Chains A and B, each alone.
Chain A
Amino acid sequence: MPVNAEKEITKLWKNLHSAQKEICSTYYRWREAALEVAGPDADPTDIALKAAEVFGRDMGKNLLPRMNWLKGEEGFMMNLGRSLAGIWVTEGGIAFAEKGENPGEILIRCTRCPWPTVAKAYGVPMEEVALTRERLFQTMLKDVSVFMNVDVRIEMLKAIPRGEGEYLFRLYKAT
């Protein structure tokens, strides 16, 4: 059987990483376009956060068909955490969800993220990168909260672009 597995996997792996990098680059190219249209008085961070809301709204809709309360609150929160981590993995990050200390609390860790590296190439402030990620997740959860009639929230505790070594998000249900 003339299949060179190493060659096939290498080809796939390279193409996957190129695609992931291109996702980040495309976003920042669009950011530049938006800034040019918005003019010199616009605050780039405001525009980035608005973009995060637009993205988050649509990405949140993708979560709804998979929402499932059958495993109870804890199972629901863990599945939600895994979904958010999964988005990061698709983008090229290393991310996972784990149980927090409090009941129903989920921690989402990302120990490697492609976004700050690409952002740097486009001269984007690192704080904007961190805030954009936080706003993206927060917006995604808005529809989820309404849909499930549960007030689910997320807060950023650590961020790679702030030099804190990893991203750490706390996903929890507001009382």
Chain B
Amino acid sequence: MAKVLFDWDYSSYPGAKAYPHLFKPIQIGNLTVPNRIKYAATEDNLNDHNGFITDADVAYMRSRAEGVVGGLCFMQGVYMDKPGKGQGYVGQAACWDDKYIPGLKSIADAIHEKKAIAGFQLMDCGRVGAVEVESGHAPSTVPQRLRIFKPMYEMTHAEVKEMIQQHVDAARRGVEAGFDVMEISGIVGYLISNFLSSYTNRRTDEYGGDIRGRCQAMVEIIQGVKEVCGPDIPVGIRLCSDELLDDVRGNTPEESMVTYKMAEEAGADYISCTLGWQESIYPVISRDIPQGNWLYLAKRAKEHVNIPIQMAYRLFTPDKPNQAIGDEELDIWEICRSMIADPLMPKKVLEGREDEVRHCVACNLCLARLFRDAPMTCYINPRCAHEHDEAFTPQATDEEKEIMIVGAGPAGLECAYVAAQRGHEVHVYDKRDALGGTLLEASKAPYGDEELMTCVNFQKTMCEKAGVEFHLGEAVTEQLIADEMPDSVVLATGPTYPEVPDQDSGNVVNVLDVLSGKADVGESVVVWGNRKPGIGAALFLAKQGKKVTIVGREKTAGFDINPSFKWRYMIYLKQNGVMAYNDCDIEEIGDGEIIVKTYDGYRFPVQCDTVVLSEREANDALKKTVQSEGIELFVIGDALVPRNLSSAVHDGYRIGLRI
């Protein structure tokens, strides 16, 4: 009889009726998991740089444990060697000594508090490790493709044996700390995947050679970990179903399936199906990849093994995994970024509050920060990684105020619902008839930007539930402010656009009018501004077959796009034939051409029949009026400093807390 850790009955919940396959139990090894939901192990850089668990990490995990409503909740992967060659993140949890057990236990306890199943992950970062030391270890000495990673040196046979034992010892510590499921990470360039791949494993001993030889280290780790875990603690492994490394002669998809079979033969109780490496040249999880794009790999995995298959990777909403589980193409829905954006996402789905889900926008800022030694944050969720900090939690106000928020974009709406939740009377004004501000237009840009509007949809729901009053189609004037005399005014009016210099007869249009289709745009276009709004507009126009050139002041195009996504945009620009002149400005707009001036004074003409303005400036409108009335004033979002959606949301949230 399989072990049941906590009793859960979902039958009365609306989500269980809407998504019946997600909320039915499954057996993994000798353990019954009450639903098909898993928070996948994710680094967060919240821990002490010596590898000890912090309160911030415990709080972060507790909130995710609440979210999985009885399902699997995995803490981040731990590194297992004292020198730290396997450490890939500065705030990664360690497990190379028993002294770490109390901290790890605090995470297991926090997960159990929420009646969820606590998962422990063993993760030697291998080729992408050695974050705090000069060099790392790998099956073979293969130079790094990317300079940000440290040089790797081939492990001796004895070091391989030692590494295997480190996994076993760490697993034992995980068990002692109270975890219920054990997982081995063998993906995206971490050590086990280095052993499996023909790209990085050139060994000639029993840990190298053909694919079966390259699996040997994995097999011994699984067998050793199984032994210390015993029959009641399932052991799973995360493995690439397709490395996407064909450009550097990595494993074929067929070889990857051999790794799955060998993991199963070695005793793995489940496999988490992933794809791609950090060094891969193909996009896997960015916004331009359609939802559910990779489910065929889970299906293929299920055709090769008989143990449960789990998968994350662009499955942000419950419909697709529910369907895939129903069709027996998937067993467990893994969630990573979606629960960074909203830790309670599955819980809200279960409770029929799907409209309250703050959806991930697949920007990968969270990952970009981790790779740059910064603590976890979320583009769209200001509370992420501050779960332990009361200052980031809305508290009831002592002094109820009447608040006028000018602008119904993401900054204004975020501020509105947070302030309203705290007990203020909030009125949101916008001269337009719709909610969303400039995001209404920005979300028209290609390559998945329509997903950005999920932010506004969430905010709208939250505002409505918090009692925010909307005044749409109503422009705020000096007179209106004087008549209403609110206690506080929040200016979230969005940016302004600079005046056009020396325009003879050029057809100059605004980026918002272009994206909304209101502007008449010629066939040959110059977009002025090389930040994201300009790039979005350039791609929007290039997709219509227009010849597009970008001219911008930033040294590189996409300066404001986070690095984990920026490379995609650079490829899109190239694919769409968009030329970008960076570190340049437009000196003059004339009839049929403009004069571009480089930062060092060279000048050259670019032919065009339309110039699209996308450079933005702060917006001072109404500021003096509010100040002269003696009203408390806050300026947020692009009105304060033109930036991105994330800054707007974070500004709004923080001011919503402060008022």
State yes or no: do A and B come from one complex. yes
Question: Does B26 have its Cβ within 8 Å of any Cβ on chain A?
Answer: no
- Contacting residues, chain A, for B475 (C-beta < 8 A): none
Q: Are A64 and B144 in contact (CB under 8 A)?
A: yes
Also in contact, A67 and B248, with CB within 8 A (given A3-B604, A3-B605, A61-B143): yes
Question: Does B638 have its Cβ within 8 Å of any Cβ on chain A?
Answer: no
- Contacting residues, chain A, for B202 (C-beta < 8 A): 149
Q: Are B143 and A143 in contact (CB under 8 A)?
A: yes
Which partner residue on chain B sits nearest A70 by CB separation?
B247
Question: Does A18 have its Cβ within 8 Å of any Cβ on chain B?
Answer: no
- Contacting residues, chain B, for A146 (C-beta < 8 A): 141-143
Specify which of A3, A8, A11 lies most central, judged by the most chain B CB atoms within 10 Å of its CB: A3
Query: Nearest chain A CB to B564's CB is how many angstroms away?
Result: 16
In the bound complex, what is the Cα–Cα distance between A68 and B246 (angstroms)?
8
Chain B 127-169 near chain A by CB (<8 Å), digits 1 or 0: 0000000000000011111110000000000000000000000
Q: Are A65 and B146 in contact (CB under 8 A)?
A: yes
Q: Are A149 and B249 in contact (CB under 8 A)?
A: yes
Q: Are B143 and A147 in contact (CB under 8 A)?
A: yes
- Contacting residues, chain A, for B142 (C-beta < 8 A): 146-147
In the bound complex, what is the Cα–Cα distance between A1 and B147 (angstroms)?
44
Query: Nearest chain A CB to B510's CB is how many angstroms away?
Result: 24
Query: Nearest chain A CB to B154's CB is how many angstroms away?
Result: 11
In the bound complex, what is the Cα–Cα distance between A69 and B252 (angstroms)?
13
Query: Nearest chain A CB to B250's CB is how many angstroms away?
Result: 10
Q: Are B247 and A67 in contact (CB under 8 A)?
A: yes
Question: Does B289 have its Cβ within 8 Å of any Cβ on chain A?
Answer: no
Question: Does A157 have its Cβ within 8 Å of any Cβ on chain B?
Answer: no
| Tally of contacts, chain A with chain B, CB under 8 A | 50
In the bound complex, what is the Cα–Cα distance between A65 and B603 (angstroms)?
33
- Contacting residues, chain B, for A143 (C-beta < 8 A): 143
In the bound complex, what is the Cα–Cα distance between A5 and B143 (angstroms)?
45
In the bound complex, what is the Cα–Cα distance between A57 and B7 (angstroms)?
61
Query: Nearest chain B CB to A61's CB is how many angstroms away?
Result: 6
Q: Are B595 and A147 in contact (CB under 8 A)?
A: no
Q: Are A61 and B147 in contact (CB under 8 A)?
A: yes
- Contacting residues, chain A, for B593 (C-beta < 8 A): 1
Q: Are B144 and A12 in contact (CB under 8 A)?
A: no
In the bound complex, what is the Cα–Cα distance between A70 and B141 (angstroms)?
23
Question: Does A148 have its Cβ within 8 Å of any Cβ on chain B?
Answer: yes
Q: Are B602 and A11 in contact (CB under 8 A)?
A: yes
Q: Are A148 and B248 in contact (CB under 8 A)?
A: yes
In the bound complex, what is the Cα–Cα distance between A94 and B246 (angstroms)?
33
Q: For chain B, which range describes its interface: under 10, 10 to 19, 20 to 34, or 35 or more residues?
A: 20 to 34
Q: Are A8 and B147 in contact (CB under 8 A)?
A: no
Question: Does B588 have its Cβ within 8 Å of any Cβ on chain A?
Answer: yes
Chain A 69-80 near chain B by CB (<8 Å), digits 1 or 0: 110000000000
Chain A 1-21 near chain B by CB (<8 Å), digits 1 or 0: 111010010011000000000
Chain B 297-322 near chain A by CB (<8 Å), digits 1 or 0: 00000000000000000000000000
Question: Does B486 have its Cβ within 8 Å of any Cβ on chain A?
Answer: no
Query: Nearest chain B CB to A78's CB is how many angstroms away?
Result: 15
- Contacting residues, chain A, for B199 (C-beta < 8 A): 149
* Contact with B595, one of A1, A64, A65, A67 (Cβ below 8 angstroms): A1
Q: Are B246 and A3 in contact (CB under 8 A)?
A: no
Chain B 579-620 near chain A by CB (<8 Å), digits 1 or 0: 000000000101001010000001111000000000000000
Q: Are B590 and A65 in contact (CB under 8 A)?
A: no
Q: Are A64 and B143 in contact (CB under 8 A)?
A: yes
Which partner residue on chain A sits nearest B597 by CB separation?
A3
* Contact with B246, one of A1, A2, A12, A70 (Cβ below 8 angstroms): A70
Query: Nearest chain B CB to A117's CB is how many angstroms away?
Result: 27
Q: Are A12 and B602 in contact (CB under 8 A)?
A: yes
- Contacting residues, chain B, for A12 (C-beta < 8 A): 602
Q: Are B588 and A1 in contact (CB under 8 A)?
A: yes
Q: Are A148 and B588 in contact (CB under 8 A)?
A: no
In the bound complex, what is the Cα–Cα distance between A5 and B595 (angstroms)?
11
Q: Are B595 and A148 in contact (CB under 8 A)?
A: no
- Contacting residues, chain A, for B147 (C-beta < 8 A): 61
Chain A 124-159 near chain B by CB (<8 Å), digits 1 or 0: 000000000000000000010011110000000000
Q: Are A69 and B603 in contact (CB under 8 A)?
A: no
Query: Nearest chain B CB to A40's CB is how many angstroms away?
Result: 36
In the bound complex, what is the Cα–Cα distance between A114 and B595 (angstroms)?
34
In the bound complex, what is the Cα–Cα distance between A5 and B249 (angstroms)?
47
In the bound complex, what is the Cα–Cα distance between A59 and B323 (angstroms)?
50
Also in contact, A68 and B247, with CB within 8 A (given A143-B143, A146-B143): yes
- Besides A65-B145, A68-B281, 4 more A-B contacts (Cβ < 8 Å) are A1-B605, A5-B604, A69-B248, A147-B145
Query: B residues bordering A, Cβ < 8 Å?
Result: 141-147, 199, 202, 246-249, 281, 588, 590, 593, 595, 602-605
Cross-chain pairs A/B with CB under 8 angstroms, 25 sampled:
A1-B593, A1-B605, A3-B603, A3-B605, A5-B604, A5-B605, A8-B602, A8-B603, A12-B602, A61-B144, A61-B147, A64-B143, A64-B144, A64-B145, A65-B145, A67-B145, A67-B247, A68-B281, A69-B247, A70-B246, A70-B247, A146-B143, A147-B142, A148-B249, A149-B202
Query: A residues bordering B, Cβ < 8 Å?
Result: 1-3, 5, 8, 11-12, 61, 64-65, 67-70, 143, 146-149
